Amino acid sequence: MFENVNYNFYKTVLERSAIPDEATFNEYTIENKLFVKRLLDDGMLIEREKNGVDSAVCMMIEVDYITACEANGSVENGGAVSSETINGYSCSYDRSVAQESAKLNAKSIEAKKYKWLKLYCDILQGVR
């Protein structure tokens, strides 16, 4: 289980590049593995595609990384600029509202993760 949840699989097989390196990828791995393992152990998740669970977990890791970048205002992955120098003048922007909004937006993060699970696996509803 989770043999292919690694940076090499993410980069080569899934052909994704949002996460810049293996160390960053590994920061988000354990939480997503444990979440999906619980669904598998409860019999609520059935793999539909080859390596579907592993692919879904890799994409869930990407969701966590992009969300963290947006919350921190990282420019590389779509975050807004918090300060810059223009023709020798320093200009700062107040990003506190956007950062707080991103931190409080946990419901949509869960929806994004479930989107990937639903693409690669069948999710059974109800109590098991």
Q: What is the pLDDT of residues 92-114, one digit of tens each?
A: 766 666 666 656 665 688 889 99
CB 120, CB 48: distance < 8 Å: yes
- Which pLDDT does position 79 carry in this prediction? 45
**Positive/negative CA dihedral, 101, 32, 17, 13:** negative
Higher pLDDT, 19 or 109: 19
Torsion angle, alpha carbons of 19, 51, 110, 12, to 10: 10
Decide if 77 contacts 69 (C-beta within 8 A). yes
Residue corresponding to tokens 């098991």:
128
Sequence-distant (6+) residues with CB within 8 A of 18 are: 62, 65, 66, 77
